[in-house]
Amino acid sequence: MNKVDVLAFGAHPDDVEIGMGATLAKLAQEGKTVAICNLTYAELSSNGTVQERQEEAKKAAEILKVSHLLQLDLKDRGLKYVSNEQLAKIVAVIRECQPRIVFAPYHVDRHPDHGHCFELVKEALFNARIRRYEANQSLQAHIVEDFYTYFINGCPNPDFVLDVSDFYDQKKAALQAYQSQFQKRGDDAVETPLTNGYMEVVSARERLYGKEAGVMYAEGFKTIKPLKLDTL
């Protein structure tokens, strides 16, 4: 795989799209190479099957013009305890993609897997830069320039926002691709937070961020270190 500009990690297929789908579409339009890496297959999800979710993830990636969709096999609800095996798999992705910027879910979230995903990626980013850490002997150490977090649930106060007004229809279409998650289908389907107006809540959040920034829609992010400005 050729190196990418941006690598966005999610615990489950649909996490990245919920948090920053419009941003990825915007970056792709700008000519940047974008990759999504999902840590688990979301095999414990209340609705849908793993196969359905994988097909939906591919469709969403096509809508957002994502260059690479990567899928690891870590266990759903098994991200809590950081292990060398987990880290090695994530480090290998980082070293193979050689991203300039990495994103992961904001660690404060109602779903524990999202916070655990953040912790795993943070640890893996540190290990990826250690020359003698041998996640894969054929891959060289890599240091990313920036590491940011995106929001899945809730409405935290962002450190910065990106104007995604022109790309919000793409985000909506990408989320709608996950019919197994956002629609209650079939007699065996159950009510979840995602089937009860969830997409409308996400849109409202990003409309609020946009209003505060003076645009129609904006996606918000948190920084791990202070933002550097060369001038004002």
- Where do the structural domains in the chain lie, given as residue ranges? 6-223
pLDDT band at 68 (very low <50, low <70, confident <90, very high): very high
Whether the Cβ atoms of residue 113 and residue 12 lie closer than 8 Å to each other: yes
* Phi and psi, residue 119, nearest 5°: -65, -40
For residue 159, the model assigns a pLDDT of 97
Whether the Cβ atoms of residue 22 and residue 171 lie closer than 8 Å to each other: yes
Is the pLDDT confidence value at 205 over 90? Answer: yes
The arithmetic mean of pLDDT across residues 146-151, rounded, is 98
Superfamily of domain 6-223: LmbE-like (3.40.50.10320)
Distances in Å between the Cα of 125 and the Cα atoms of 70, 86, 129, 141, 144 are 17, 13, 7, 10, 8
Supply the pTM of this predicted model.
0.95
CA dihedral sign of residues 78, 84, 89, 93: positive
Cα(49)–Cα(41) distance, integer angstroms: 9
Phi-psi domain of 12 (left: phi exceeds 0; alpha: psi -120 through 50; beta: other): beta
pLDDT tens string 106-132? 999 999 999 999 999 999 999 999 988
Residue 226 parent element (H or E): none
Q: Over the Cα atoms of the chain, what is R_g?
A: 17
What secondary structure letter does DSSP report for 228? Answer: P
Query: Which residue type, as a one-letter code, is found at position 16?
Result: V
Greatest C-alpha distance within the chain: 59
Cα(219)–Cα(232) distance, integer angstroms: 23
pLDDT tens string 76-106? 999 988 889 999 999 999 999 999 999 999 9
Share of the chain above pLDDT 90, in %: 82
Is the pLDDT confidence value at 155 over 90? Answer: yes
Residue 146 parent element (H or E): strand 146-150
For residue 136, the model assigns a pLDDT of 62
Distances in Å between the Cα of 209 and the Cα atoms of 45, 99, 124, 156, 160 are 29, 27, 30, 10, 10
Is the pLDDT confidence value at 137 over 70? Answer: no
Whether the Cβ atoms of residue 178 and residue 56 lie closer than 8 Å to each other: yes
For residue 168, the model assigns a pLDDT of 98
The arithmetic mean of pLDDT across residues 57-82, rounded, is 95
CB atoms within 10 A of CB 157: 8
